[in-house]
Amino acid sequence: MGESVAEATVIKWLKNPGDKVDADEAVMEIATDKVDSDVPSPVAGKLVEQLYKENDVVQVGAVIAVIETGEAEEVTIQPENAVNVDTAASNDNLYHESVPFTAIKDQPEAEPQQANFDDIPGIEQLEQRSVPQAPVFKAEGRFYSPLVRNIAAQEGISTDELDHIPGTGSDGRLTKDDLLNYLQNKTLSVAKVQNAPPAAADFTTPVQVNSSAEAPLPPAVEPQTVKNNDQQPTITPEAQPAVSTPQYAEPVSFEKAATPAAPAETKSERNTPASAPVAASISGTDEIIEMDRMRRLIADHMVMSKQTSPHVTSFVEADVTSLVLWREKVKNSFEKREGEKITFTPIFIEAVVKAIKDFPMINVTVNGTQIIKKAAINISMATALPSGNLIVPVIKKADELNLVGLTKAVNDLAGRARNGKLLPDEVKEGTFTITNVGSFGNVMGTPIINQPQVAILAVGAIKKKPAVIETKEGDVIAIRHMMFLSLSYDHRVVDGALGGSFVRRVADYLEKWDPARDV
């Protein structure tokens, strides 16, 4: 994603002009190229004016709403004061501060108003989950506002339980009302389950079992193939069994491995917001699937990068046998001592940092005809999210961290990225990116540059291969741990000699790993 946030999109107004608002009560939903978030009111009062409409793009620092309070002084809330992250229940990934409010204090102070939750938008109750009504959004890695997390903490709701609650906000986001309604339904459901009589077996019509070869088989479900999206196939009314008895059908074919159907929510239901359009079948196996907002932003950013930078990719194969054996030797003692698992990623980052010091012109950005040489070495690491999207947290001043510090930083940022707990400052100001295509079993790749950087390194899977080794006694063939490094770079400012030399230097640092190194 982009290195800085310059604008936000108004997704939804939660309050209308004339509505009373409490301090810290959500007034609107916004979206940036990094995160979605609720924007709370900095003061209690009455919303007088909305200065932007839904879907309008707002520049950072712009005033977006006017709120009346009880005193005669006009106060402009600056971006950095629009939300106090320190008072939030958790350090969520928020951009509240990028959209300020102006508070006009010339009206009598409004009485505090108790929030009314009687008309909360409908969400299926727990006791009704066996009857599919709407897709359930399992938003692994989605973001929660401080208010939602605070309520969840007070009510003892875990993050995993939050992930299972359907959201009515933009792209299935969980709002305060959604959570309060869930808590209310949860209490009612427990009472109903405790008082409910045992359920009777669901047999509406007896079925006689006939073992003869002439016995007719129940109607079969037409096989369907679903490509790449794990969507559950649609069964037409004609294919439904006429009675509530076991039916046998031809297996449904999936291009990806699929699990047997169960009464619980399916994967497609978990990953589809309640407001998202259902994929429409065109001709058997073809479907139209609307991109979600993050996927559209990623797509735009990738196209922009290819249009901005002439990409060139250089490849190097590295023998990392000493490194692999060293890690295998120290990983248990390291975890016991540091409380962290040491992966290959911090080792790769350390090698990249050393190579950047040797070739500082890799650590630059381009501004028109100017080349800006960056003083800090901030390593961005591409992290895949459970939803299938991508986010790139940044290790700031990576050159000032040793291997232990890099390990802790990698594990912390990757974990919080997947749980949606990154802060805005943790996804910007990167100067060089590493992406691990080996985690998907790929041996190499041609990654797209993360603008406005000028280079990105893809590290491939480590594979055992026969290789020729030079010894004092002559050449021998041995089984070695080998991997490919792929460096894509901006040919406007990085020539082949620089790009090729840089990736070769990274490989040298990995190949010459000291097997006796202490950590």
Query: What's the pLDDT tens digit per position in 251-300?
Result: 333 333 333 344 444 444 444 444 444 455 556 789 999 998 888 888 99
128-192 classified as CATH 3.40.50.970: no
Of 61-75, 186-200, 445-459, the poorest mean pLDDT is in: 186-200
Per domain, the residue ranges of the chain are 7-105, 128-192, 309-511
Instruction: Give the pair of three-digit tokens for residue 362.
Output: 């890799």
> Which residues have a catalytic role annotated?
491, 495
Banded pLDDT at 133 (limits 50, 70, 90):
very low
Residues 6+ apart with CB under 8 A from 379: 349, 352, 353, 394, 395, 398, 430, 431, 432, 433, 434
pLDDT of residue 292: 85
pLDDT tens track for 424-477: 889 999 999 999 999 989 999 999 999 999 999 999 999 999 999 999 999 999
pLDDT of residue 26: 86
pLDDT tens track for 464-512: 999 999 999 999 999 999 999 999 999 999 999 999 999 999 999 999 9
Whether 383 shows a pLDDT value over 60: the answer reads yes
Class of domain 7-105: mainly beta
**CA–CA dist 101, 99 (Å, integer):** 7
- Taking a C-beta distance cutoff of 8 angstroms, is the pair 181, 199 a contact? no
pLDDT tens track for 390-426: 899 999 999 999 999 999 999 999 999 988 888 888 9
Banded pLDDT at 104 (limits 50, 70, 90):
very low
Q: Across residues 88-93, what is the average pLDDT?
A: 37
- Taking a C-beta distance cutoff of 8 angstroms, is the pair 394, 428 a contact? yes
**CA–CA dist 322, 506 (Å, integer):** 15
CATH of domain 309-511: 3.30.559.10
Highest mean pLDDT among 146-155, 208-217, 318-327: 318-327
- Taking a C-beta distance cutoff of 8 angstroms, is the pair 423, 91 a contact? yes
- Give me the sign of the Cα torsion angle 162, 164, 170, 176: negative
